[in-house]
C-alpha cells in the first residue's frame, strides 16, 4: 500500500537552530510532493511543493525541501528556525496520474524555544 | 484572499445521532475533498468530488457516511448514526482542478459521546 513516513514525531529546537524533518514515501512511480504546515489554531497551509524540475524547491518563510528520487525522500529544511515556526508539519504525496488525492504522513510537531 | 469555509467549527453529539458538516470551497474550484484527521495522525481522504461527481470514495464508510455536492459548488458530509470512533477533525479542501494544489478549510471538530 502507498504510504508516507515522517521519522520524527516531536522535535524541540532552540531559536536559530537548523531544522531538518524527514519524509519518505513508498510509491514506485512519478509523484508530486508537498509539505503542509498547521500553526496553532490555524488551518493547513501549503509550505512548498514539487512537481518536476529542480529537485531543490523553495517555499514560504525560508523553508526548502530536496527531492531525492533514489531514496524516495523529500526532506524539509530551514537553516535557522524562529519561535514562530512552532507548528505541526505534514508531508504529503500525490501519485502522479492519480485523481489528486493526497496521502499524508502522520505529522511532526515542532516546538521552538525562544 | 479567498478561503474554504466550513461549518460548524465544533460539534458534540451523542452516539447513534445524525450529524452533518458543510463546506463551501473557493469560488471556481472544481475539485472538492473531504478528509478525516484523527488526533496524532495525518489527514485521510474520505471522498473526492469533481464538480458534482464522486471521483473517489473508496475510504468512505458507506454504511454510515454519505456526501453530496449537488450543484457542484458546496458540499455536505453526513454521518448517521455517529459512533464513538468517529470523533475526529473533518477537513474540507478544494483545488482548481485535480492536478492543482489543495486549499484547506479550518475543519469541523467532532466529538461523539
* pLDDT tier, A23 (very low <50, low <70, confident <90, very high otherwise): very high
Inter-chain residue contact A102 with B45, CB threshold 8 Å: yes
Using a CB-CB cut-off of 8 Å, the residues of chain A touching B108 are none
Largest CA distance in chain B: 39
Mean pLDDT of A106-114: 96
Contacts 24+ apart (CB under 8 A), B57-62: none
Separation CA A25–CA A70 (nearest Å):
11
Of B33, B99, B105, the CB nearest to A43: B105
- Whether A29 has a pLDDT exceeding 90, the answer reads no
Question: Cell numbers of B13, please?
Answer: 453529539
- Whether A22 has a pLDDT exceeding 90, the answer reads yes
Separation CA B70–CA B93 (nearest Å):
17
- pLDDT tens digits for range B18-43: 999 999 999 999 999 999 999 889 99
Asked whether A81 and A112 are in contact (CB, 8 A), the reply is yes
Using a CB-CB cut-off of 8 Å, the residues of chain B touching A100 are 31, 33, 48, 95, 97-100, 102
* pLDDT tier, B47 (very low <50, low <70, confident <90, very high otherwise): very high
Of A32, A90, A100, the CB nearest to B42: A90
- How confident is the model at residue A97, as a pLDDT? 66
Chain B residue with Cα closest to A43: B106
Mean pLDDT of A20-46: 93
Separation CA B104–CA B64 (nearest Å):
24
- How confident is the model at residue A88, as a pLDDT? 97
List phi, psi (to 5°) of B99: -95, 10
- pLDDT tens digits for range B68-109: 998 889 999 999 999 999 999 999 999 998 878 899 999 999
Separation CA A67–CA A8 (nearest Å):
18
List b or e across B54-72, with b for residues whose CB sees 16 or more CB atoms inside 10 angstroms.
ebbbeebeeeebbbebeee
- Among B94, B86, B110, B93, smallest CA distance to B9 is for B110
Asked whether B74 and B88 are in contact (CB, 8 A), the reply is no
Partner B contacted by A19 (CB < 8 A): no
Asked whether B111 and B11 are in contact (CB, 8 A), the reply is yes
- pLDDT tens digits for range A47-104: 999 999 999 999 999 999 999 999 999 999 999 999 999 999 999 999 876 778 899 9
Mean pLDDT of A11-35: 94
- How confident is the model at residue B64, as a pLDDT? 97
**C-alpha distance from A23 to closest chain B C-alpha (Å):** 13
Amino acid at each position: 500500500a502507498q504510504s508516507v513516513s515522517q521519522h520524527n514525531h516531536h522535535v524541540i529546537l532552540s531559536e536559530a537552530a537548523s531544522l531538518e524533518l524527514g519524509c519518505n514515501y513508498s510509491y514506485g512511480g512519478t509523484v508530486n510532493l508537498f509539505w503542509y504546515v498547521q500553526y496553532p489554531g490555524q488551518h493547513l497551509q501549503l509550505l512548498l511543493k514539487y512537481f518536476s524540475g529542480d529537485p531543490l524547491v523553495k517555499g514560504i518563510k525560508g523553508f526548502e525541501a530536496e527531492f531525492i528520487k533514489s531514496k524516495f525522500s523529500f526532506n524539509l529544511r530551514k537553516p535557522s528556525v524562529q519561535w514562530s515556526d512552532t507548528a505541526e508539519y505534514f508531508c504529503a504525496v500525490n501519485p502522479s496520474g492519480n485523481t489528486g488525492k493526497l496521502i499524508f504522513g502522520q505529522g511532526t510537531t515542532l516546538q521552538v524555544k525562544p | 484572499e479567498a478561503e474554504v469555509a466550513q461549518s460548524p467549527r465544533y460539534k458534540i453529539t451523542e452516539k447513534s445521532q445524525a450529524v452533518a458538516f458543510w463546506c463551501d470551497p473557493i469560488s471556481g474550484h472544481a475539485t472538492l475533498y473531504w478528509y478525516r484527521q484523527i488526533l496524532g495522525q495525518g489527514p485521510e481522504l474520505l471522498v473526492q468530488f469533481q464538480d458534482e461527481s464522486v471521483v473517489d470514495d473508496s475510504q468512505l464508510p458507506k454504511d454510515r457516511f454519505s456526501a453530496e455536492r449537488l450543484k457542484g459548488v458546496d458540499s455536505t458530509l453526513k454521518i448517521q448514526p455517529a459512533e464513538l470512533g468517529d470523533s475526529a477533525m473533518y477537513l474540507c479542501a478544494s483545488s482548481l482542478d485535480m492536478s492543482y494544489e489543495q486549499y484547506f478549510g479550518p475543519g469541523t471538530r467532532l466529538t461523539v459521546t
